[in-house]
Structure 1
Amino acid sequence: MLKQLDKYQLTLFICIAVITIATRFIWLGELPGGLNQDEASMGYDAYALLEYGIDRNGIHNPVHMIAWGSGQNALLAYISMPFIKIFGLSVFSIRIAPALLGCFAVFIIFLLGRRIESTNFGLIVAGITAISPWHIMISRWALESNILPVFMLTSVYLLIKASDNKRFLPLSFFFFGVSLYAYAPSYLVIPLFLIMAGFYCMVFKVFTIKNIVISVFILIIVALPIFIFVLINTLKLPAFESDILSIPRYTGTPRYTHMSSIYGGAFFQETAKHLAHSIKILFIDFNDFELQNSAPKVGYLPKFSLPLIIGGFFICIWKATKNKSFNPVAIILIWFFCSFIVSGTSSPAIHRMNTVIFPIIIFFAYGLYTLFNNSKALALAFCLILSVTSYNFYKIYTTEYAVQVSSFFFQGYGEAVRDAQQYLLDGESLYASDALNQPYIATLFHLKYDPNEYIKTVEFKNPGGAFQSVSKYGNIIFGVRSHAAKSAKVVVIRKGDDARYYNLNNYITREYYDYLTLYSKEVFQEDAENNIIRKKIPISLSMPTLESGTYFFNAQWEIDTGITIEAVELYGTQRKIIKFGSDRINNRISIEKSQLYLGSNKLIITARSSDGRKKTAEFVITNYDSRHKNAFDFIKTIQQDIGNSQRNKAFTQDNLLTQGIMFTSGLGTHASSKHIISLPINADRLHISYGISDFSGGCGQGLEIEISSDDKLLTKRKVYHNRLYSSIINIDNLNELTLTSKSGSNRHCDHLNWLSADLVMK
C-alpha cells in the first residue's frame, strides 16, 4: 500500500501517523485525569469477567451489561480484556483499546478516501481526522459509545470495497453486526442504512443475490444475540443463560427506551425538536457544551470549516447524481442521512449522534480537496489556519480543560478510597463521599474488588431502579454527612460539598485533587516522617451479649487505663456507678444484670489513659422481670414497603445505632412500615425510644412516626436525623398498639429504629 505513494505523499502519510499516535497515546492514563463512572463500570466489569467469570451483577459473558440497572454496551469491555490481562486493571489499560481504535480509524478513513476519490483526498481526510478535536477526545477515554463510529466506518469502507471485490461483502456485514454491540443508536442507524444502501446497490446491480444472501445470513447470526436481548428487555421476558453467553434482563427500565422519543407519546414533535437541536450543535455551535465532548471554546471541528463542509456536501450530491452508475459517494450521503435522522430520536449530544461525524469530516475534506484543485495558495493558507487552531485546541486540552474536566472524571476519588482502606482493621468501616455520580463503581475499580463478595454484601438505596445507587458494600458505606460518618475513624470527603460538615482540625488530612481523606486524630497520628500510624486508644468495645444473667463486652484496653461505668435509667432520673468484672486474658468486661435498673439502662463507659487520653461509649441494655417486659416480644403483624424489618439490628444489618448510642433491643425498619403489638392484659405503660439509624446516610427531611391503638392516635411526631426521641404512653385497657413510620421524599433518610420498648405492667 505504501509503495503506491510518491515521496511527498509518503512524507505526509508518516506525519499524519506520528500526529495520530502522539495525540492519542501521550499521557493516556493521566489525561483526562481521574476515572469517569462509565469508564470505571466498563473496566471493572471487564476485569471481573476476565478474573472471576462474572460481571458485577453475577452474569456470565453477557451480550450486554446490566451495569447500573438500565444497561451498558459490552463490546468495549471484551476488546479491553487482553490489555487488562497484560497490564492489569488501571486507567491506562482500559484506555488502550479506544486509543488503538482511534489510530485504526485514521488509517481506515485514509483507505476510504483513497477508494472514493484519490490518494491525495485520502491523505486530506485522514489529516483532518488526525487533528479533529472530537476524534482526539473520544480516543483518549473509555466511553463505550465512542467506539461505534470506528466500527461503522470500517463496515462502510468494506461495503464500498466490496463493490470492487464481492468477497468483502460478508466481512462488511459481519462488522455491521458487531457494531450493534457498541452503542444502542446502532439498533436504528444500521438497519436504516442497510435498507437504503441496499436499495441503492440493487438499483445498480452491484451485488449478486448469492452475495447478499450469504452476507445477510452472517449479519443475522452475529446480530441474533443482541436482537434477542432487545426483545427480552422490551417485552420483559425471562433472561437467557448458557455456558457460552448470557442475555440478561435488566433490573431497571432499559436506558434505550427512556432515552428515545420512539417510546414516548409525542414522537413527531420530539423528533422535530431534536433534529433542530442537532442542526444547531453540528452546524452552528459545532459544540454541545457537554464537558466530556468538548474543550472550552473548541468544537468538534472549527467553526470556519462550515463553508467547506457545505461545499463538500453539495459536491458529494453532484458526484452521486451526475452519472447513472454506482458511485461510492452516494453511500457516504446515505450514511450521513441515516445518522442525522436517528439523531432526532433522542436528546442530541455529540456522543449520542457520533456516527454522523465521519460523513461530515468527509464533506469537509471534499471542500478542502476542491479548494486545493482550484487555488493551492488559498488552500495552504486554510491549512495553516487549521493547524494553528488545532495547536490551540491541544494546548487548551492539556491545560485549562485538564483542570476543568477533573471533576467530571472524579480525579482522586478512587485513589483516596484505595489508600484509606489500608489503615482500617477488620470490622471497621470506611465512609466515602456520595457527592458524585455512582461512587461505588470507582471504588470497585481501584480496589479490584471480588465481584462475588460485592454481590453478597451490596445494599442498594433504590433496588430495581434504572440507575441503582449503592448505599454500602463490604466495609464501605457511601454518604459522609451522618453522625456515624462524622464519628468514623477514616472518611473520604469531597472538598466544598462535604467539607463544611467537618471540623478539619480534628483530622489528619491527605489531599487527592478534589477529595480529602480524613484520619481521626483520636485514632491516628503522624510519625516523624509524616506517615500516618495508629494511636493506641484507651479502650475498644463491642456490642454486649447476655449470657446467664451477665452482660459481656469484648474489650481491649491498656494496662494503665482507668475505667468507670455509670448506669442511668433510660426512662427515669436515677443514675449510679456500677461494679464490673475485667478479664484481660479473654479481653472481656462483664456486668451483672442484677446491678441494673429495671427496664432499659444507658451505660456510659469512660476510659482514661495515664497520658490524658479519654474514650467514652454509650450503650442501652435491658433488665426485664415480671413487671417490665420487652414490647417487641409481642409483635403479631409486620408490614413494610421495602425488605423486612430486623430484630435487634438496623435494617442495614449494622448495630442499632442512633445519635451515636448503641441499643441491644429494637427494630430496624426501612421506608414506610407498620408493626402491630398485641398487648398483655395487665399492661399499664409503654416506654419507647425511636430515631433514624445512623446508617441511613445524610438527610434533612426526616420522616414521620405514629403510635396508635384502635384508630386512636396516641403519638405523632416528625423524626429528624441525628436525634433520639422517646415517648411514655398510657396503654391501660388497650388491646393493641400500632407503630407506624412514613418515609418522606428523601430516600436517604428512611431507616427508622424503634428502640428499647419497655412495657410496664400493673
Structure 2
Amino acid sequence: MKRILFSLILLLGIILRFYALGSNPPSLDWDEASLGYNAYSLLKTGRDEYGISWPLSIKSFNDYKPPLYAYLTIIPVAFYGLNDFSVRVVSAFFGVLTVAIVYFLGKEIFPSRKVKLSLMLMLFLAISPWHLQFSRIAFEANLALFFVVSGVWLWLKAAGRYFFQSLSALSFALSMYAYHSPRLVVPLLILGLLFIDRQKIRRNVRPVIIFFIIIILSILPIARQLKQSTSARFSSVSVINPDEKLKESINAIDYDTERGFSWGKYFHNRRLVYFREIVGGYLDHFNFDFLFLTGDPPGRHHAAGMGMLYFWELPFILLGVMYLIGNFSRFLSWQIISWWFLVAPIASALTSGTPHAVRALFYLPLYQIFTVLGLAKLLKKKLIFLAVPVVVGSFFHYLHLYYVITPFEYAQWWQYGYRQAIETAREVEDRVDRVIFTYRYDQPYIYYLFYNLIDPGEYQKLSANMEIKRAERKIGKYEFRNIDWSQDKYLTHTLFVAVPGELPDGTGQLMGEIKYPDGKTAFRLTVME
C-alpha cells in the first residue's frame, strides 16, 4: 500500500510541475532567458554568451550566476530546442526529485509512524504553493534546494557509513554550484550538524574526515570563483550598502554633534546600523503577511492573492513547533531540523528587499515538517478527516489562483510581451534600416538572442569587441537602449519598439501593439518612414 501511495503522490507532483510548463508562468523572465541562451551557447560552442569557455560562473547580467543550472539545461535544449519548456524542465525535474527525497528524509526524522507521516510530508511538499512556484520556473534556487535537502537526508542516514557520508558531502558541494545562498547557508548548516552529532563523531571520526575531503575537493574548482563571483553578486544585492547606510549614519552623528550630544557617534555607529538592518531582514522572513497572506514582491514569486504557504497550515505549524520544542532534547534529528530552520534565511537576511522567497527557499520543507508534526496530533485522536476538506478546498483554490488569476494579473512581472514584440519586429525588420528597442523593461537583448536563435558564435565575436553597457547594446540593425525622443524623432527608416508614452500619440505608422492579458499595452511597434 505504501508503494502505491508513494507512486500516486509522486505522479501528482509530476503533473503539477509539468502541466503547461511552457505556457504558465506566461513568459520567461530575463534570468530564465539568460540561462536558456547560455545553455544553447554552451551546447553549440562550448562557451557562454561572452565567449568564456565552460565558465565556472555565468556572467549573464554581471550577476555571475552559478553554472550548474545552465549546464544541466544543455540536455533538454539539445532534445527539445531552445524554448520556454526546455529552459524550465530542469527545475521541474529536480522539483519532483525533491518531493521524492523528502519521503526518505521524513523516515529519518519522525520517531514513530514513519511511513504514514513521511507520506504526508511528501504530499504537502507536492502541493506546496512555494515549492510549486519555483519548480515551474528556471530559478537556480530550486535546483540548489534539492541538493541541500539531499545532503541533510544523506547525513542523517549515514550514521557513520562512508558511502552515505560521501554522498552527503557531494550533495552539499553541488548546491554551491547551483545557487549563491548555499555558499553561506551550507557551511553554517554543516557546523550545526557537526556540533549536534559530536558524540557520534568522536566514536568514529573517519567518515567525517572523508566528508570534508570530498567537499573540499569538490569546491576547489570554484574556490577562486566563490570569492570573485559571490562578491560581485553580494555587492549588487547587499543590505550593507555603504553609500546609503553610511550617509544616514553620518547625518545622524552630525545632527547630534551640532547639538552637543557626543554619545551620538556610538548610537549611530555604522556597525549598529548594519546589525539592525541584518536582524530586521532576518526577522522579515517570519513575517505573517509574507508567509500566509501576500508573499513578497515582485509577483513572480507567488500566486496572486495568497502568501507562500496555505493559510490552513498556520495552526498546525504552531502546534508542530510547540511539540518539537517540548521534545527537543529527545531526538538529534529534531535538533538538526531546528538548526536548519534557523540558518536557512541568513543569506537572504544579508541582502536588500527582504523577505525574499527565492533566497530563503532553503527552509522548505521545514514548514511542511512542522505541519505534519502538528497534524500528527489529529492522527492520534482519529480526527484527521476534519482537516481533509480544508486541505482539498485550499488546494483547488490555489490551482484556480495559479492557472486563472495569476497569468491575468501578474503577466507584466514576467516580462510578458517580449516574445510577441520580438516576433512582430522580425516581420518588419527588412523594411527598415534600424530597430530601436526600448530598455524601459530591462534586458531586451537577451530575448532577441533567445527567440531569434541568434548564432552564439557570431554573437560571441560581437560581444568580444563591444563595450558592454547595461542599457546600451547593438546587435546588427537592432539597438537596445533608452529612447530619447528629442533626438530620435529625426531618425527615418526606423522601427521603434516602445512602451506607451515614449513616443507621442499618432507618431509614424503603427505596425503592432502587444497587450498584456488584462488588456493594458505592453509595447507599441511604430515605423518612422
2:301 alignment partner in structure 1: 293
Give the Cα–Cα distance (whole angstroms) in 1 for the partners of residues 465 and 474 of structure 2.
Answer: 7
Count of aligned positions = 487
Q: Structure 1 41/372 Cα, relative in aligned 2: closer, same or farther at 3 Å?
A: same
Larger of the two Rg values belongs to structure: 1
Give the Cα–Cα distance (whole angstroms) in 1 for the partners of residues 296 and 47 of structure 2.
Answer: 36
User: Shift of residue 260 of structure 1?
Assistant: 3.0
**Higher relative contact order (CA closer than 8 Å, sequence separation 6+):** 2
User: Shift of residue 367 of structure 1?
Assistant: 1.0
Tell me if 1:507 matches 2:515. no
Which of 90, 93, 97 is the matching residue for 2:90? 97
Tell me if 1:362 matches 2:369. yes
2:477 alignment partner in structure 1: 475
Give the Cα–Cα distance (whole angstroms) in 2 for the partners of residues 319 and 60 of structure 1.
Answer: 52
Q: Structure 1 262/504 Cα, relative in aligned 2: closer, same or farther at 3 Å?
A: closer
1:215 alignment partner in structure 2: 211
Report which of the two has the higher share of helix: 2
Give the Cα–Cα distance (whole angstroms) in 1 for the partners of residues 14 and 287 of structure 2.
Answer: 32
2:315 alignment partner in structure 1: 307
Q: Percent identity?
A: 26
Give the Cα–Cα distance (whole angstroms) in 2 for the partners of residues 32 and 182 of structure 1.
Answer: 22
Contact 1:149–1:354 (Cα < 8 Å) also in 2: yes
Q: Structure 1 493/125 Cα, relative in aligned 2: closer, same or farther at 3 Å?
A: same
Tell me if 1:172 matches 2:158. no
TM-score (norm 1): 0.60
2:253 alignment partner in structure 1: none
Tell me if 1:351 matches 2:326. no
Q: Which amino acid aligns with 1:294?
A: H
| Cα shift readout 1:574-613 (whole Å, capped 9, x = no counterpart) | xxxxxxxxxxxxxxxxxxxxxxxxxxxxxxxxxxxxxxxx
Partner of 1:430: helix, strand, or coil?
strand
User: Shift of residue 127 of structure 1?
Assistant: 0.9
| Cα shift readout 1:605-635 (whole Å, capped 9, x = no counterpart) | xxxxxxxxxxxxxxxxxxxxxxxxxxxxxxx
| Cα shift readout 1:328-349 (whole Å, capped 9, x = no counterpart) | 2222112112113444222321
Tell me if 1:203 matches 2:199. yes
Give the Cα–Cα distance (whole angstroms) in 2 for the partners of residues 314 and 67 of structure 1.
Answer: 45
Report which of the two has the higher share of strand: 1
Which of 65, 75, 93 is the matching residue for 2:58? 65
Q: Which amino acid aligns with 2:496?
A: V
2:180 alignment partner in structure 1: 184
Q: Which amino acid aligns with 2:222?
A: I
Give the Cα–Cα distance (whole angstroms) in 2 for the partners of residues 232 and 188 of structure 1.
Answer: 14
1:25 alignment partner in structure 2: 18
Q: Which amino acid aligns with 2:302?
A: S
Give the Cα–Cα distance (whole angstroms) in 1 for the partners of residues 464 and 443 of structure 2.
Answer: 13
Which of 112, 121, 142 is the matching residue for 1:125? 121
Partner of 2:345: helix, strand, or coil?
helix
Partner of 1:205: helix, strand, or coil?
helix
Contact 2:57–2:65 (Cα < 8 Å) also in 1: yes
Structure 1 unaligned blocks of 5 or more: 1-5, 235-252, 523-762
Partner of 1:436: helix, strand, or coil?
coil
2:256 alignment partner in structure 1: none
Tell me if 1:74 matches 2:67. yes
Aligned ranges 1:397-476 → 2 under 5 Å: 397-425=402-430, 428-458=433-463, 468-476=470-478
Give the Cα–Cα distance (whole angstroms) in 2 for the partners of residues 207 and 102 of structure 1.
Answer: 36
User: Shift of residue 27 of structure 1?
Assistant: 0.8
Which of 79, 100, 108 is the matching residue for 1:86? 79
Give the Cα–Cα distance (whole angstroms) in 2 for the partners of residues 193 and 320 of structure 1.
Answer: 18
TM-score (norm 2): 0.85
User: Shift of residue 501 of structure 1?
Assistant: 2.6
Contact 1:272–1:344 (Cα < 8 Å) also in 2: yes
Aligned ranges 1:297-336 → 2 under 5 Å: 297-322=305-330, 327-336=332-341
Partner of 1:89: helix, strand, or coil?
coil
Q: Structure 1 380/226 Cα, relative in aligned 2: closer, same or farther at 3 Å?
A: farther
1:149 alignment partner in structure 2: 145
User: Shift of residue 263 of structure 1?
Assistant: 7.5
Q: Structure 1 206/382 Cα, relative in aligned 2: closer, same or farther at 3 Å?
A: farther
Contact 2:513–2:523 (Cα < 8 Å) also in 1: yes
Tell me if 1:273 matches 2:280. yes
Which of 201, 205, 224 is the matching residue for 1:228? 224
Give the Cα–Cα distance (whole angstroms) in 1 for the partners of residues 431 and 59 of structure 2.
Answer: 31
Aligned ranges 1:478-497 → 2 under 5 Å: 478=480, 479-482=482-485, 484=488, 487-494=492-499, 496-497=500-501
Tell me if 1:12 matches 2:5. yes
User: Shift of residue 287 of structure 1?
Assistant: 2.0
Give the Cα–Cα distance (whole angstroms) in 1 for the partners of residues 369 and 465 of structure 2.
Answer: 47
Give the Cα–Cα distance (whole angstroms) in 1 for the partners of residues 160 and 109 of structure 2.
Answer: 12
Give the Cα–Cα distance (whole angstroms) in 1 for the partners of residues 85 and 410 of structure 2.
Answer: 17
Structure 2 unaligned blocks of 5 or more: 243-269
Q: Structure 1 187/275 Cα, relative in aligned 2: closer, same or farther at 3 Å?
A: same
Give the Cα–Cα distance (whole angstroms) in 1 for the partners of residues 176 and 3 of structure 2.
Answer: 35
Give the Cα–Cα distance (whole angstroms) in 2 for the partners of residues 507 and 263 of structure 1.
Answer: 44
Contact 2:21–2:85 (Cα < 8 Å) also in 1: yes
User: Shift of residue 102 of structure 1?
Assistant: 1.0
Partner of 1:431: helix, strand, or coil?
strand
Two-structure CA RMSD over aligned residues (Å): 2.7
Q: Structure 1 383/135 Cα, relative in aligned 2: closer, same or farther at 3 Å?
A: same
Q: Which amino acid aligns with 1:317?
A: I
Contact 2:99–2:126 (Cα < 8 Å) also in 1: yes
Contact 2:292–2:310 (Cα < 8 Å) also in 1: no
